[in-house]
Structure 1
Amino acid sequence: MIQQIYPSVAHPFRYELNKDLQFAAAHYVPAEAAGKCSRVHGHTYFANITIAGNDLDSAGFLVNFSEIKKLIHDLFDHSVLNEHTAYFQDDDPDRFPTTEIVARTICEIIQSFLDRSGNKPRCLQVFLRETPTSYVVYRPMGGGSYGD
């Protein structure tokens, strides 16, 4: 992956981890307003995921990089996003697989995993590039509930 500077998130945590990954996936946006994007088409998505926390786990990790890759790449790579009906729905605009909603979904998947860890890090940001000229930055409301 090309090294890139991503927007940074101000936070009070001691550790910050960033994981870059990519996955190839097809999708369509089931809305007339989506124009050509309402037809099935594909992208090579590039994601940068920012995770932060104060405590490391028993292996000295905030979170193991490979776990983050498995959560997202292994789930979405070479798939049709619309077929992941646990995350995306053709009849609910809040769950169409737009870049914004895919970024939010990635954050939610990762945070659900982090919530089960003993050291409780937080997913602070997902940067998701859909094309060379188009990307979204998603941050959970309130920065991910730092007080938890």
Structure 2
Amino acid sequence: MIQQIYPSTQHAFQYELNKDMHFAAAHYVPSESAGECSKMHGHTYFANVTIAGNKLDESGFLANFSQIKQLIHTRFDHSVLNEHSELFNDQDPNRFPTTENVARVLFEIIQEYLDGTANKPRCVQIFLRETPTSYVVFRPGAGGMPDA
């Protein structure tokens, strides 16, 4: 992967970890106003996950790079996002598999995992590129979770 500079988020944590990954997935946006995107199509998504914290775990990691990749890549690579019905929903626009919602779902998956670790770092940013010219940045709200 070519090195890329991502938008950064301000935080007061001592450590910041960034993990790049990609996954190939198909989706459709179940809305007439989505135009051509309402038809099934696919992307190679490129994601950058930013995790921050003050404490390292028993291995000296803020978070394990391999585990972060596995949470996303194993689940979504070569899948149809709409078929992940526990995460996406064709009836609720807040759960359509748009790039914005996919970025938020990646945050939710990663933060749930981090919450179960002893050192409890925070996911502070998801950068998700859908095409070479289009990307979304998701950052949790002030309370550390997405706004409802």
TM over 0.5, yes or no? Answer: yes
Q: Distance in 2 between matches of 1:25 and 1:45?
A: 7
Q: Distance in 2 between matches of 1:144 and 1:123?
A: 8
Q: Distance in 2 between matches of 1:80 and 1:88?
A: 11
Q: Distance in 2 between matches of 1:2 and 1:130?
A: 16
Paired residue type of 2:30 = P
Structure 1, gaps ≥5 residues long: none
**Runs (4+) of structure 1 moved beyond 4 Å?**
none
Q: Distance in 2 between matches of 1:65 and 1:81?
A: 23
2:130 is the counterpart of 1:141: no
Paired residue type of 1:20 = D
Paired position in structure 2 for 1:104: 104
Q: Distance in 2 between matches of 1:7 and 1:27?
A: 26
Is contact 1:124-1:143 (8 Å) kept?
A: no
Paired position in structure 2 for 1:34: 34
Post-superposition shift, 1:92?
0.6
Paired position in structure 1 for 2:47: 47
- How many residue pairs match? The answer is 145
Post-superposition shift, 1:144?
2.2
SS in 2 for 1:142: coil
Q: Distance in 2 between matches of 1:95 and 1:103?
A: 11
TM-score, normalised relative to structure 1: 0.96
TM-score, normalised relative to structure 2: 0.96
Post-superposition shift, 1:2?
1.4
Identical residues among aligned pairs (%): 72
Structure 2, gaps ≥5 residues long: none
Paired position in structure 1 for 2:88: 88
